[in-house]
Amino acid sequence: MGSWVQEETVVYVLLTLFFPSSAGWNLPAYLTVLIALGNIGPLAVTISHRLCPPGRISEPWLIRSIHGLSLLSTIFLAIFWDRRVVVAGEDHSVPYLLLAFLLALGCCTSNVTFLPFMYSFPQQYVRSFFIGQGLSALFPCILALGQGVGRLECRNNTWGNATEPYYVEENFSASSYFWGLFTFLAVSALAFVILPFWRNRNKEQPEQDLGSGPVPQDGTASEDSYPLRSPEDEKNEDPSKITEQRFWTPRNIYLLVLLGVSNALTNGVLPSVQTYSCLPYGGDAYHWSVVLSNIANPAACFIAMCVLCRSSLGLGIIMAAGVLLGSYLMVLAALSPCPPLVGSTAGIVLVVLAWSLFMGFLSYLKVVIGSLLHEAGHSALLWCGSVIQAGSLIGALLMFPMVSFYHLFQSGRDCQDNCAL
């Protein structure tokens, strides 16, 4: 299945790579709000699914529209990302902000369209989807680190009595990065175009080779609906009523709560303070935590393909472990710029390990829940995608005022001893 660039990747790219280290720019605040507003897309899709009769909304066409919007956004970002417009007498990066919003809109909407569409495929493809989603966060981050933005050297000042930061020039431009991002999205779009040919090739195989999931509710016998049952079988029942009756069970509600909380932590709360938890230990600690935590994501998805935990107690224990690690990272961020073991190798190892395990545990949890909800029907996967976006939105909105307005987390100064008495 085609992978997708997640909205948290967009946050990382737009906030970390192309945002100068000097103070005075308000781009992080603007971008956080705009990316949160990108959840208008999932909300509109969810409401449409609830109000429109089955068959009116074609998920394949929605997915193609998302691909088209995202590809156009990255093309224009590569060309116009550095253009500014005078607003109220001041220069503002209006094209950059607008295109970032459009890109975030497509990324946010992908979960409530891709996941329901996956219901027409066997359960193991849902796990493959989450693997692709994890890799789609890893590849742009590796490309970003290869660009080398944020590297600094501490050099003596003109008078020789102190050191000051010198930021090393990046290896390639922001425009080149956006063209690389466009390539990733083009591969995703191409993979989705190939899917109908894959379906046609396997259509004549026995039904058991393709899985036993029912037909998605967005169509009957059209090319985009990928039916696994005959239309005559569908006429004898009301899929929406049957699905709703079976879905709202205490176990499924429990799974959705775990899913929402885990996404709030991984996509909103902890990423907002990752710099505060890592940078006191140095730039290398921050870069390694970003890379290894994004490697832990697809690695956890691979583990879920081999070992699928179905126990509610087991899932609760995994959630508790993730919350415990997240709490440790939050404490480090709150104590910035002087957290425990700062300046030591042990501190670096612990923060990198905590970020990797935190993302690994909660990524595994999300994949398992997605697989279990696949068994509950098409509507369950729609709710799965909606809860993912709702959790991410709530987490981001919760942390935004704490970081940007109330300044509860303090940053240190480069090339200075921030913990000196």
Query: pLDDT tier at 245 (50, 70, 90 boundaries)?
Result: low
Does the pLDDT value for residue 391 go beyond 60? Answer: yes
Per-chain mean pLDDT for the chain: 77
pTM of the predicted model, to two decimals? 0.70
pLDDT at residue 5 in the model: 43
pLDDT of residue 199: 64
At residue 326, the pLDDT reads 96
Highest mean pLDDT among 24-33, 250-259, 264-273, 371-380: 250-259
**C-alpha dihedral sign at 371, 373, 375, 381:** negative
- Secondary structure element (H or E) that encloses residue 59, with its range: helix 59-80
pLDDT of residue 416: 72
For residue 287, give Cα distances in angstroms to 281, 331, 334, 351, 394: 11, 20, 20, 11, 26
Q: What does the pLDDT look like over 47-106, one tens digit per residue? A: 887 787 766 778 888 899 999 999 999 999 999 988 888 877 777 788 888 898 898 888
Whether 363 contacts 300, CB under 8 Å: yes
| Residue matched to tokens 């109000």 | 51
Alpha carbon of residue 98 to chain centroid: 20
Does the pLDDT at position 379 exceed 60?
yes
Q: Most confidently modeled of 219-228, 242-251, 329-338, 407-416?
A: 329-338
Which two tokens mark 382?
């729609």
Kind of pairing, strands 152-156 and 163-167?
Answer: antiparallel
Inter-axis angle of helices 123-147 and 94-117, nearest 10 = 160
pLDDT of residue 346: 95
- CA gap 315, 364 in Å, rounded: 10
Give pLDDT tens digits for 199-235.
666 655 544 444 444 444 443 333 333 333 444 444 4
Q: Choose between 399 and 416: higher pLDDT.
A: 399
What's residue 1's pLDDT?
39
Quote the pLDDT of residue 256.
Answer: 94
Domains of the chain (ranges, CATH numbers):
7-152+166-224+240-405 (1.20.1250.20)
- β-strand partners of 156: 163
Q: How far is CA 297 from CA 116, 188, 224, 356, 357, in A?
A: 21, 19, 30, 8, 9
For the record, the structure tokens of 409 come out as 């987390």
CA distance 282 to 278: 7
Q: Is pLDDT above 70 for 128?
A: yes
Q: Look at residue 121 and give its three-state secondary structure.
A: coil
Q: What pLDDT band is residue 29 in, cutting at 50, 70 and 90?
A: low
